[in-house]
Structure 1
């Protein structure tokens, strides 16, 4: 069984200070995809780069204390790739890919548009680039049989079930009609599978909670963290969970177990 976990850290050093290492020992993921490192590589000390029996690979942003993605791996891949050949967003450290013989796992951090109209426009530019990039992955899957797992903070809640207060958020970044339509295109037309929803159709299953008010205590959240995969490996997903017993970040870890073996 291959266990893959995705987690937006909201700062790698902050998450470790809140007990991430102890949870890593318990969770026992084979692959842990990380988003929002908020650190340059020089600031990620060796014990954070290679905790326990993991080897860490990272793609950090040029801007200090901003964005950045990583992957902790127990089994070394054949290669590591960074970015999507887009200068504007590759400089922000948003995509990191690990390849094995017939499986690729990607950690991605999509932009947030919540800080204002300028960043929302940047988010739309990212989606315009990222959609065709995802289509290329699906085309490769169909041609070669390679399976893809994309672990990401998508910064989009896809459907009404995916956030608590959907009626009052329809004009807010993360739940605009345009963003939701883009997610629908990725799932219904390109053909990626939202594996969590395949396994767990229940409402009120969220992965992010605002730090304002009592959002966490009242479970007023959003489901922003998804594992979207090609259909072959989606069919081999066996179990999923969102870990909420501890908080390392304003996001919760999303774990999915797949009945496959890395080669």
Structure 2
């Protein structure tokens, strides 16, 4: 059985529901759903899923508790497939920020029969400020955890996929206005170096791997102006998979809304299908 895995920064689940997210869920019906910027409690999130797709959901959800993160972060992985362990700590320094959660999902899409699905929400940052220091510190611990996940997959353990809003455009292909954004957070060499390191370990940016060296496809556009209509976007939402999973990816698409009015978030879902 193929596995459909979707990731999306909802920019607040309640707002996304008001803007039409349930219709997208009913159309796509993903087997596994990774969410960022949930900004809600477990009951609200499960209620949305049950109203759209029925019951039986397993949920790994980390709500932020830090004063600077509460009400604006939160990550989750939801599925109706059988599950194993859930983990919410990538490093104790970031436990209250609501930016990392892992869930082990049982699926034939992973050679071991178990797939570790991660939902991550990387800080947006701001070059030359403490916000950027926080972002770089978080990327350090994320990269360390990804090293461990890659090693486990290479030794016959669960394959893994890291899904989410990375707030980094990896190359000029991933941002429409590369020249105008040089030196700004999200397009800094020190941020991109982390993604280079993931690739060096064997992690595969699934959408880029399948699309090839083309512009985009972008996954985020500002609400302001005509960014969406002119496709002046960034490709910052991704699925990075370990090799044993990546080789089973048949598609990885950005579900860009047909019109500005039909968007339910400033981010578009990224949906991949992995063969079983």
TM-score by length of 1: 0.92
Secondary structure of the residue aligned to 1:183 is: helix
Q: Hey, what's the Cα distance between the residues in 1 that align with 2:41 and 2:252? A: 31
Partner of 2:185: 173
Query: Given the superposition, is the C-alpha separation of residues 48 and 57 from structure 1 closer, same or farther in structure 2, using an over 3 Å criterion?
Result: farther
1:77-156 to 2 correspondence within 5 Å? Answer: 77-84=83-90, 86-99=91-104, 100=106, 101-114=113-126, 117-156=129-168
Aligned partners of 1:10, 1:114: CA distance in 2, in Å?
Answer: 19
**Aligned residue among 54, 60, 66 for 2:72:** 66
Question: SS at the partner of 1:191?
Answer: coil
Query: Please, which runs of 5 or more residues in structure 1 have no aligned partner?
Result: none
Q: Which of structure 1's runs of 4+ aligned residues deviate more than 4 A?
A: none
Equivalent residues, number: 257
Q: Report the counterpart of residue 25 of structure 1 in structure 2.
A: 26
What are the superposed Cα offsets for residues 53-79 of structure 1, whole Å, 9 maximum, x if unpaired?
351331110043121001221213022
Partners of 1:244 and 1:116 in 2: CA distance: 33
Judge conservation of contact 2:127–2:183 (CA < 8 Å) in 1: no
Q: Report the secondary structure of 2:163's partner residue.
A: strand
Counterpart CA distance in 2 for 1:228 and 1:138 is: 11
Distance 1:45 1:244, change over 3 A: closer
* Residue of structure 1 in register with 2:36 after alignment: 35
Alpha-carbon displacement from aligned partner over 1:23-65 (angstroms, at most 9, x marks no partner): 10101110110001123446x2651264423513311100431
Cα distance in 2 for partners of 1:180, 1:222 equals 14
Instruction: Note the 1:163-202 alignment, pairs <5 A.
Output: 163-187=175-199, 189-201=200-212, 202=214
Maintained 8 Å contact 2:60/2:102 = no
Distance 1:114 1:7 in 2: 22
C-alpha contact 1:170 1:177 (8 A) present in aligned 2? no
Contact map agreement 1:49 1:57 (CA 8 A) in 2? no
Deviation at 1:11, TM superposition (A): 0.4
Computed over aligned residues only, the root mean square deviation of the Cα atoms, in angstroms, reads 1.7
In 1, Cα distance between equivalents of 2:47 and 2:219: 27
1:88 Cα deviation from its structure 2 partner = 2.3
Cα deviations by residue, 1:159-213 (Å, 9 ceiling, x for unpaired): 11000000111111000011111111111x2220001011112313100011222
Residues in 2 aligned to 1:237 and 1:120: alpha-carbon distance in whole angstroms:
33
User: Could you tell me which residue of structure 2 aligns to residue 244 of structure 1?
Assistant: 256
Comparing 213-222 with 199-208, greater Cα deviation is found at: 199-208
* Compared CA separation, residues 192 and 45, structure 1 to 2 (3 A): closer
**More divergent stretch after superposition (240-249 vs 123-132):** 240-249
Higher alpha-carbon deviation: 117-126 or 140-149: 140-149
